[in-house]
Structure 1
Amino acid sequence: MKSLGSIRRDFAPWNDPKAKPYIQFENVTKRFGDFTAVDNLSLTIYEREFFALLGASGCGKSTLLRMLAGFEQPTSGRILLDGENLAGIPPYKRPVNMMFQSYALFPHMTVEKNIAFGLKQEGMPRADVERRVAEMLKLVKLEKFAKRKPHQLSGGQRQRVALARSVAKRPKVLLLDEPLGALDKKLREETQFELMDLQQELGLTFVVVTHDQEEAMTMADRIAIMDKGEVMQVATPAEVYEAPASRFVANFVGNVNMFEGKVAERTEKTARITGATGAQILVENAGEARAGADVAFAIRPEKIRISSAKPDNNVNALEGEVYDIAYLGDMTVYHVRLTDGQVVRAQSMNAARISDDPLTWNDRAWVSFRPDAGVVLTR
């Protein structure tokens, strides 16, 4: 079975018409005075899904999370959890728990007491509290740190304590607001996989808010791209990256080259796009674009080949000049200014230590790509 991206997920209830959504936002709007943070938004999330809300600051993603947690109330619309309308239910009575970026640990308490705090507040018997805390410590691999206080822990360890405290009460849904923002890059990458493994082991529904694209792409089953209080696209990471629904999504997620033009010719399988300066591009993923339509052709840098010699196959081959190079170790990024003035970004993996065809600044170069390498966008 063919699939966008390098993997095909077996967990995909959103593709099953019989599957019942676990969390539903129905025409939800949230206003703060004259400002509309969330605008008539509808969204469904399924049980045991790792769902990410991704967007720039101020797009409404944290407001959406806070409404689900009960810290904010919708101006209009409904939020349902497992079929139950959450309107009027206070945060402490909702079967959800929220983990904040700051972690909010009690500095005077040990790790085990931090984890036990919520359980004791609920009146759980002491023996059950001790057993549950031991389970949580083992789950997050902090058994040896049970007697330490937060200031004696690293950032990653404090993050795991906060996570253990959040799941100790066995919520139906765990909400994570920028959970890895305080960690350094390497630790953040390691913790992403830990969170994924933990979510699978617990079988909980995770909803994470982040502005970090790589974080969302790594962890989530599906991603909702948000802008100005609206959802622009909901899809799997591979679909968002390989088949963006609009220019906005294509530009927001990863790096992209955008060629604006008009569909000059359309067949059942292909389309020929003529750029503003006459450049001809043959594409296979033209979707619903019709002949004569103004469109954009979006292609990712890693799908563009760069060479000093003109490719044997003349299809989708454009000539230009190298004007910027960034060597990143595992890859080299080239900025090539085409003869029509447009700048194209191409990435080349450094599979060998020595290059047979080294390109440098001001060299003439050809960029080329396959007809199925990009996608046509109509909006």
Structure 2
Amino acid sequence: MKSLGSIRRQFSPWNDPQAKPYIRFENITKQFGEFIAVDNLSLSIFEREFFALLGASGCGKSTLLRMLAGFEVPTSGRILLDGQDLHGIPPYRRPVNMMFQSYALFPHMSVEKNIAFGLKQEGMPKAEIDKRVAEMLKLVKLERFATRKPHQLSGGQRQRVALARSLAKRPKVLLLDEPLGALDKKLREETQFELMDLQEELGLTFVVVTHDQEEAMTMADRIAIMDKGEVIQVATPTEIYETPNSRFVADFVGNINLFEGRITGHSDNVVHIATNGGGAQITVENAGAITGNDEVAFAIRPEKIRISSTRPQDAVNALEGEVFDIAYLGDMTVYYVKLDDGQIIRASILNAARVIDDPLTWGDRAWISFRPDAGVVLTR
């Protein structure tokens, strides 16, 4: 059986018709005056899932998280957690904990006292607190830093203290609002995998809010793409990337080339598209249920496109143009090819070898080509 892409783990309760959602947003709307932050949104999240809310600033993702935490109250609709309606339950009574981007550590307290703070507020016996704090320090690998103050730690270490404090009360759900935003790129990448390993080890449900596409694609089992208070698509990272359901999702996640055009023929799940402008013909396999003469967009990722100085003899889809720009990125080279109809296409070529057999440079005539199953047809 072929897979659409690589599989991180064998975990997909959303594909089981008998599986019950652990968190359920039902027709949630949140208004601030005249502004609608979340608009009649419904969404299901499953137990032990690492779920990401991804979108641009102002799309409603943080508002949704804050409503789940109890810091905001829905204008209408309801939120269920493990079958329980959360309406009227204050934040400190909910079996969730929230980790903020700022970490909000107490500067005058040591690492161990920061972690113990919430447990003391709950009146847990001292012996149990000490045991739980020791467990958390070991979990986040900060045993040697227990007596240090936050200002004596690096950004990554402060992030782990905040994580340990959030996990110390053993919540059913951990909410993370832009948790890695304060870290530098390399540390952020390392911490993503630490969070994934930690989530799987603890068996908790994680819900993370981020505007960083790579962060969501790396960590999450599924991603909800949000825009203007609505969910546009919910799917696995591979499905979001390879089979976006709209122009918005295709353009929002990763780099994409879009050919606007009209269906000129279809048969046996194969469609033919005449592109706007130059009228070039594109043949697409596995296009789904497309009716005749529809206005559509053909979306294809840059790495699915080949580039050469001559037309490949085996190419079903091939278009000619001129090399407009080149970006050498080390692991890959990105070519921008201006087609004869004026459209600029981006092609990413992996630098698997040090020597290039068919070198191209600025101003060269070039052919771009791609397989009939390399992209998707979008109707909206």
Q: Does 1:25 align with 2:25?
A: yes
Partners of 1:269 and 1:189 lie apart in 2 by 40
Deviation, structure 1 residue 8: 6.4
8 Å contact from structure 1 (residues 289, 295) kept in 2: no
Partners of 2:118 and 2:90 lie apart in 1 by 16
- What do residues 45-103 of structure 1 show as CA deviations (whole Å, max 9, x unaligned)? 00000000000000000000000000000000000000111000000000000000000
Gap runs ≥5 in structure 1? none
Aligned to 1:229: 229
Aligned to 1:320: 321
| TM-score of the superposed pair, with normalisation by structure 2 | 0.99
Partners of 2:227 and 2:173 lie apart in 1 by 24
SS of the equivalent of 1:114 reads: helix
Partners of 1:127 and 1:285 lie apart in 2 by 62
Aligned to 1:346: 347
Task: Map residues 242-257 of structure 1 onto 2, 5 A cutoff.
Answer: 242-257=242-257
Pairwise CA RMSD: 0.8
Aligned to 2:39: 39
8 Å contact from structure 1 (residues 317, 368) kept in 2: yes
Deviation, structure 1 residue 354: 2.0
Partners of 1:2 and 1:344 lie apart in 2 by 29
Deviation, structure 1 residue 9: 3.8
Aligned to 1:171: 171
Partners of 1:140 and 1:309 lie apart in 2 by 55
Partners of 2:254 and 2:162 lie apart in 1 by 30
Deviation, structure 1 residue 169: 0.3
Q: Which runs of 4+ in 1 moved over 2 A?
A: none
Aligned to 1:215: 215
SS of the equivalent of 1:107 reads: coil
- What do residues 196-224 of structure 1 show as CA deviations (whole Å, max 9, x unaligned)? 00000111000000000000000000000
Identity %: 80
Q: Relative to structure 2, which stretch is displaced further, 73-82 or 6-15?
A: 6-15
Task: Map residues 28-67 of structure 1 onto 2, 5 A cutoff.
Answer: 28-67=28-67
Deviation, structure 1 residue 353: 1.5
- What do residues 224-262 of structure 1 show as CA deviations (whole Å, max 9, x unaligned)? 000000000000000000000100000000000000111
Task: Map residues 1-379 of structure 1 onto 2, 5 A cutoff.
Answer: 1-7=1-7, 9-276=9-276, 277-379=278-380
Deviation, structure 1 residue 269: 2.4
State the number of aligned residues.
379
Partners of 1:252 and 1:359 lie apart in 2 by 29
Deviation, structure 1 residue 29: 0.1
Partners of 1:8 and 1:264 lie apart in 2 by 39
| TM-score of the superposed pair, with normalisation by structure 1 | 0.99
8 Å contact from structure 2 (residues 315, 370) kept in 1: no
8 Å contact from structure 2 (residues 269, 288) kept in 1: no
Deviation, structure 1 residue 7: 2.0
Partners of 1:8 and 1:165 lie apart in 2 by 28
Gap runs ≥5 in structure 2? none
Amino acid at match of 2:379: T
